[in-house]
C-alpha cells in the first residue's frame, strides 16, 4: 500500500513568481522526493494576499492550511514541522479561508481565485464553471442582455458605463459580422486584477466573452493583452486552446450551433492603447491613436463593425450574473454602484493585495483594516485612487464611501479600483510633475492640450519647485489644467489634471505654498 498523496499548492501568479514561487516549488519537489514523501504539487492562482506570497497551501482533512511568505530555504524546516499534516511553524497562517483579510471579503468574481489550477478544465467545472454559459445558451440574446442590464453591472475598466446598454446597442445593430473585444491593457499603476484573472482564472474570462457573443450575435473575439504581461498572454493562449478543444469555443459552442472564435492580441507598450478606440486601431494594425466619437464602437467598432468592448473584470462578472441571476448581483453595493469591485491595494502598504468587496466600504477600512497601514510604518500622506489619472485623496476624505457617484462628487474617480499608498516622505509636487511627464510620454498626439499641454505642465511645475515667480506659475498651472480638462479628446489629457490639481489643492506646502491643515494624517 502506498502512502496517500498530499496536495500542495504553490501559486504561478506573476507576483508570486517575482518573489520566488518557482524556487519554492522546486525546493518542495526536491525535498519531498529525498524524504520519500508523496506530494502532488498544484500551481494555483494567487489568493491575492500578496504580502504572504509565496503562499504555500497544503490540503489536509481539516481544509487547506496556509504558510507564508515561504522562501526556498524554509522548506526543510517546514517539512520537519509536519507541513504535510498542517503542522505548527512560525510561517503557519492557519486555515486559508479563515485568514481575516480573506474571510472579510465578498468574493464573487474572484471566488475561484487561488483555489483552482487555472488551466484545469475539470477544476473549473467543479467550481461552478460554465454554469453561466449553459444558462445563456438556453436564453435568446435579448434575454441575456436583459439579465446583464438588470444586474446593474457597470464597466469595470474606468468609465463605469452600464454594460447592458452597450451590449443592447450591439445586439440591435444589424451587421454581417460583430466582434467582442476584451480590454486587457491594464496600464494603470496599482492595478493587477485583470492580470490575476488572465493568469489565475482564464476560463472565467472566456466564459464571459462567450456569453457576450451569444447575447449580441458575435462570432469573433479578441483579447488585447499588454506586452508587459507575458505570463498572462501564455496562460490565456493555452486556456483558449483547451477551451476550444473541449468545445466551449469554436464552430459550435457546446454543440449549440453558435460559433465563437477567440484570439489573443499582444499590445506593444502604449498606455493610451487602453483607451477603447485606440485599442481598436491597434488591433487593426495601426498606430494606437484615439478615434473621435461618435460613431460609438458599439455601432462602428473593429473593422467598422458593431463591437462590444469591455474590460476583463466586466466580462468576467457575466458568468456569475447569468448563473446566479441579476438580482443576486444587484443586491450587493450601494446607490447606483451595484455588485462588487476587486480593490487593489498597492504601493506603500503593509498588506498589499486584492480585496473584493461590495461598493460602499471606505478607503479608511481598506487602508487600515485590510492594509494594516503603511509598509514603512510612517503616516500615510496621500492615496491615489483610480490609476495615474486619478486624484490624490487626503486623510480628510478617507471616510467617503467607495461608490462611483460619491467619488465623482468630490472630484475623484474609482477607475479600475487601484489604490496606491504614499507615506509622508512623498513629495506631492514631484508626483504632480510625474503625472504631467507620464502624459507627455504616453499622449497619442492627436490633440494639442494633451500633446503640448503636458510638456508645458512639466516645465511650469519645475518653475514652481524652483520658486521662479511661484504664485504666477501656480495660476498658469491651474489655467493649463483647465484647458486640458475641457479641451482634450480623451481622458488621457482630460484627466491628467486630477492628480495634479488634487496634489496642489491638498498639499500646497509641497509646492512651496502656504500649508492647509489636515493634509497629513496617520
Ligand X SMILES: Cc1cc2nc3c(=O)[nH]c(=O)nc-3n(C[C@H](O)[C@H](O)[C@H](O)COP(=O)(O)O)c2cc1C
List residues near ligand X by CB under 6 A.
155-159, 161, 183, 185-187, 272, 274-276, 309-311, 314, 490-492
Residue 447 interacts with, from another protein, ligand X, ligand SF4, none (CB under 5-8 Å by kind): ligand SF4
Taking CB under 6 A as the rule, does residue 436 contact ligand SF4? no
Site string for ligand SF4, 256-285 (x = CB under 6 A): ----------------x-------------
**DSSP class per residue in 78-94:** HHHTTGGGT---TTEEE
Euclidean distance between CA atoms 399 and 373, whole angstroms: 15
Site string for ligand SF4, 468-497 (x = CB under 6 A): --------------------xxx-xx----
Residue 14 interacts with, from another protein, ligand SF4, ligand X, none (CB under 5-8 Å by kind): another protein
How many residues contact ligand SF4, by CB under 6 A? Answer: 14
Task: Pick the closer one to ligand SF4 by CB: 319 or 493.
Answer: 493
Euclidean distance between CA atoms 469 and 471, whole angstroms: 6
At closest approach, how far in Å is the CB of 411 from ligand X? 17
Task: Pick the closer one to ligand SF4 by CB: 35 or 293.
Answer: 293
Report the residue from 451, 463, 470, 478 that binds ligand SF4 according to the rule CB under 6 A.
451
| Burial status of residue 212 (CB atoms within 10 A of its CB: 0-12, 13-18, 19 or more) | buried
Task: Pick the closer one to ligand X by CB: 35 or 286.
Answer: 286
Question: Cβ distance 319 to 208 under 8 Å?
Answer: yes
Cis preceding linkage at 294, omega within 30: yes
Question: Cβ distance 221 to 244 under 8 Å?
Answer: no
Nine-digit cell string for 278 = 485606440
Binding window for ligand SF4 (CB under 6 A); candidates: 52-60, 201-209, 259-267, 437-445: 437-445
Write down the residue that cell numbers 463591437 correspond to: 307
Residue 420 interacts with, from ligand SF4, ligand X, another protein, none (CB under 5-8 Å by kind): another protein
Binding window for ligand SF4 (CB under 6 A); candidates: 252-260, 298-306, 442-450, 501-509: 442-450
Euclidean distance between CA atoms 272 and 150, whole angstroms: 31
Question: Cβ distance 249 to 206 under 8 Å?
Answer: yes
**DSSP class per residue in 93-161:** EEEGGGSHHHHTS--STTTTTTTS-TT-HHHHHHTTTTHHHHHHHTS-HHHHHHHHHHHT-B-TTTT--
Question: Cβ distance 320 to 136 under 8 Å?
Answer: no
Chain residues that interact with another protein, rule: CB under 8 A: 14-15, 17-19, 50-51, 53, 186-192, 195, 227-230, 265-271, 282-288, 303, 344-349, 352-354, 375, 384, 388, 418, 420-423, 426, 431, 434, 438, 441-442
C-alpha pair distances (Å), 133 with each of 35, 125, 166, 212, 368:
45, 12, 19, 10, 38
Taking CB under 6 A as the rule, does residue 253 contact ligand SF4? no
Euclidean distance between CA atoms 227 and 238, whole angstroms: 17
In 277-317, DSSP assigns E strands to 307-311
Task: Pick the closer one to another protein by CB: 57 or 423.
Answer: 423
At closest approach, how far in Å is the CB of 196 from another protein? 8
Report the residue from 443, 473, 483, 502 that binds ligand SF4 according to the rule CB under 6 A.
443
Report the residue from 160, 447, 504, 519 that binds ligand SF4 according to the rule CB under 6 A.
447
Is residue 478 helix, strand or coil? Answer: helix
Euclidean distance between CA atoms 420 and 502, whole angstroms: 15
Question: CB count, 10 Å around CB of 451?
Answer: 17
Euclidean distance between CA atoms 499 and 430, whole angstroms: 11
At closest approach, how far in Å is the CB of 493 from ligand SF4? 3
Residue 443 interacts with, from ligand SF4, ligand X, another protein, none (CB under 5-8 Å by kind): ligand SF4
Q: Which residue's Cβ lies closest to ligand X?
A: 155
At closest approach, how far in Å is the CB of 290 from ligand X? 7
Report the residue from 138, 143, 445, 467 that binds ligand SF4 according to the rule CB under 6 A.
445
Taking CB under 6 A as the rule, does residue 83 contact ligand SF4? no
Task: Pick the closer one to another protein by CB: 65 or 431.
Answer: 431
Residue 23 CB contacts under 8 Å (≥ 6 apart), including other chains: 72
Report the residue from 47, 135, 338, 446 that binds ligand SF4 according to the rule CB under 6 A.
446
At closest approach, how far in Å is the CB of 157 from ligand SF4? 15
Task: Pick the closer one to ligand SF4 by CB: 118 or 457.
Answer: 457
At closest approach, how far in Å is the CB of 242 from ligand X? 25
**DSSP class per residue in 448-472:** HHHHHHHHHHHHHHHHHHTTSSHHH
Residue 158 interacts with, from another protein, ligand X, ligand SF4, none (CB under 5-8 Å by kind): ligand X
Cis preceding linkage at 295, omega within 30: yes
At closest approach, how far in Å is the CB of 17 from another protein? 6
C-alpha pair distances (Å), 170 with each of 164, 253, 258:
10, 20, 17
Helix, strand, coil content of the chain in percent (nearest 5): 45, 15, 40
Task: Pick the closer one to another protein by CB: 127 or 378.
Answer: 378
At closest approach, how far in Å is the CB of 226 from ligand X? 8
Q: Which residues bind ligand SF4 (CB under 6 A)?
A: 272, 290, 443-447, 450-451, 488-490, 492-493
Amino acid at each position: 500500500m502506498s502512502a496517500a498523496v498530499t496536495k500542495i499548492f504553490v501559486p504561478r501568479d506573476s507576483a508570486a513568481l517575482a518573489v520566488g514561487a518557482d524556487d519554492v516549488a522546486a525546493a518542495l519537489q526536491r525535498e519531498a522526493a529525498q524524504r520519500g514523501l508523496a506530494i502532488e504539487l498544484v500551481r494555483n492562482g494567487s489568493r491575492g494576499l500578496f504580502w504572504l506570497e509565496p503562499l504555500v497551501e497544503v490540503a489536509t482533512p481539516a481544509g487547506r492550511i496556509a504558510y507564508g511568505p515561504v522562501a526556498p530555504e524554509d522548506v526543510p524546516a517546514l517539512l520537519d514541522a509536519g507541513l504535510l499534516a498542517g503542522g505548527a511553524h512560525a510561517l503557519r497562517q492557519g486555515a486559508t479561508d479563515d485568514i481575516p483579510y480573506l474571510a472579510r471579503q465578498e468574493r464573487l468574481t474572484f471566488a475561484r481565485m487561488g483555489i483552482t489550477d487555472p488551466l484545469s478544465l475539470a477544476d473549473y467545472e467543479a467550481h461552478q464553471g460554465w454554469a453561466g454559459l449553459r444558462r445563456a445558451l438556453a436564453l435568446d440574446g435579448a434575454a441575456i442582455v436583459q439579465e446583464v442590464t438588470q444586474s446593474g453591472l457597470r464597466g469595470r475598466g474606468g468609465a463605469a458605463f452600464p454594460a447592458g446598454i452597450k451590449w443592447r446597442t450591439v445586439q440591435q445593430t444589424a451587421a454581417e459580422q460583430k466582434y467582442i473585444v476584451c480590454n486587457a491593457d491594464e496600464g494603470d499603476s496599482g492595478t493587477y486584477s485583470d492580470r490575476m484573472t488572465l493568469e489565475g482564472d482564464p476560463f472565467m474570462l472566456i466564459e464571459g466573452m462567450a456569453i457576450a457573443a451569444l447575447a449580441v450575435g458575435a462570432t469573433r473575439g479578441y483579447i488585447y493583452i499588454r506586452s508587459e504581461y507575458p505570463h498572462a498572454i501564455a496562460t490565456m493562449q493555452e486556456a483558449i486552446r483547451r477551451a476550444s478543444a473541449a468545445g466551449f469555443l469554436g464552430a459550435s459552442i457546446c454543440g449549440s450551433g453558435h460559433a465563437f472564435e477567440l484570439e489573443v492580441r499582444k499590445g506593444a507598450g502604449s498606455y493610451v492603447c487602453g483607451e477603447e478606440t485606440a485599442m481598436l486601431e491597434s488591433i487593426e494594425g495601426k498606430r494606437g491613436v484615439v478615434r473621435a466619437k461618435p460613431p460609438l464602437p458599439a455601432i462602428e467598432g473593429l473593422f467598422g463593425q458593431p463591437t462590444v468592448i469591455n474590460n476583463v473584470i466586466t466580462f468576467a462578472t457575466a458568468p456569475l450574473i447569468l448563473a446566479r441571476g441579476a438580482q443576486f448581483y444587484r443586491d450587493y453595493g450601494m446607490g447606483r454602484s451595484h455588485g462588487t469591485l476587486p480593490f487593489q491595494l498597492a504601493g506603500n502598504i503593509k498588506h498589499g493585495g486584492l480585496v473584493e468587496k461590495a461598493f460602499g466600504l471606505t478607503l479608511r477600512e481598506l487602508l487600515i483594516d485590510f492594509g494594516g497601514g503603511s509598509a514603512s510604518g510612517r503616516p500615510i500622506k496621500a492615496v491615489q485612487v483610480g490609476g495615474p489619472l486619478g486624484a490624490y485623496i487626503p486623510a480628510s476624505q478617507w471616510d467617503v464611501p467607495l461608490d462611483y457617484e460619491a467619488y465623482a462628487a468630490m472630484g475623484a474617480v474609482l477607475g479600475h479600483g487601484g489604490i496606491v499608498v504614499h507615506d509622508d516622505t512623498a513629495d506631492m509636487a514631484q508626483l504632480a510633475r510625474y503625472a504631467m511627464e507620464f502624459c507627455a510620454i504616453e499622449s497619442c498626439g492627436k490633440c494639442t492640450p494633451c500633446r503640448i499641454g503636458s510638456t508645458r505642465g512639466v516645465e511650469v511645475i519645475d518653475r514652481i519647485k524652483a520658486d521662479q515667480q511661484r504664485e504666477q506659475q501656480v495660476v498658469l498651472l491651474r489655467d493649463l489644467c483647465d484647458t486640458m480638462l475641457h479641451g482634450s479628446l480623451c481622458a488621457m489629457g482630460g484627466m491628467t489634471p486630477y492628480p495634479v490639481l488634487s496634489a496642489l489643492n491638498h498639499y500646497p506646502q509641497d509646492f512651496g505654498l502656504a500649508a492647509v491643515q489636515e493634509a497629513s494624517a496617520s
